[in-house]
Amino acid sequence: MVSQGIWRSCTVSAIVMLSPLALAQAPRPSIIVQPATTQQRNILVLYYDEAFLFVGRHYGDGRDFAGPTEPGLFVHSKARDRWLQITAISTEGAQLGKSSGDMVASVGWDFTPFSQRPYIEQPLKTTGSLMFPDRIQYDSRSDRYELRHASTWRRPGAETVLYIRRGDLVEAFARAQGVRP
């Protein structure tokens, strides 16, 4: 009996001592990336600032002799002169929208089920097209990029907003180059 009491006491002490460590863990990365080559064909410049350039790559035109391209969301680091493909963005803190029946749109979308998942693939896919951010802005106070999709509809509930921490981009480019950030 005494040994069980000591064991419980030690276990409770260990849990209490580890709790601050569990709380101090870093949040999950806001992006999942993979190395990419220079983007030159079928791209749309979405945003740029002094550090990064964001572009979307679409399928292309069937008349292109080089053939179609695989769609993707890409970012270029000006400091490291490298490209990464952003394959997914965290849903943490995201606002996930959906189209409504009263909207006159050629395609529909519903990204709300992704609230139950840690990440959402990029680019966003609707019922018949790709959706790239129509507005990206950097917020220096939160040190993150805000990617707004379907904001031009100006409809409550239609817009999807995702966030990328700038530090995650810096770290991803450092890792891609084999350097510590």
Residues 84 and 74 sit within 8 Å (Cβ to Cβ): yes
Peptide bond into 123 cis (omega under 30): yes
* pTM of the full structure: 0.82
Is residue 38 pLDDT above 50, yes or no? yes
Q: List the structure tokens of 47.
A: 């945003």
Mean pLDDT score across all residues of the chain = 86
Is residue 20 pLDDT above 80, yes or no? no
Q: List the structure tokens of 25.
A: 């863990």
Question: How many alpha carbons lie under 13 Å from residue 140 in its C-beta half-sphere?
Answer: 3
| CA-to-CA separations, 2 to 14, 102, 154, in angstroms, rounded | 18, 70, 67
Confidence band, pLDDT 50/70/90 cuts, at residue 46: very high
101-128 burial string, b = 16+ CB within 10 Å, else e? eeeebeeebebeebeeeebbebbbebee
Is residue 26 pLDDT above 50, yes or no? yes
> What is the pLDDT, as a whole number, of residue 7?
44
Q: List the structure tokens of 126.
A: 């609707």
Total Cβ atoms within 10 A of residue 160: 24
What is the distance, to the nearest Å, from the Cα of residue 72 to the centroid of all Cα atoms in its chain?
A: 12
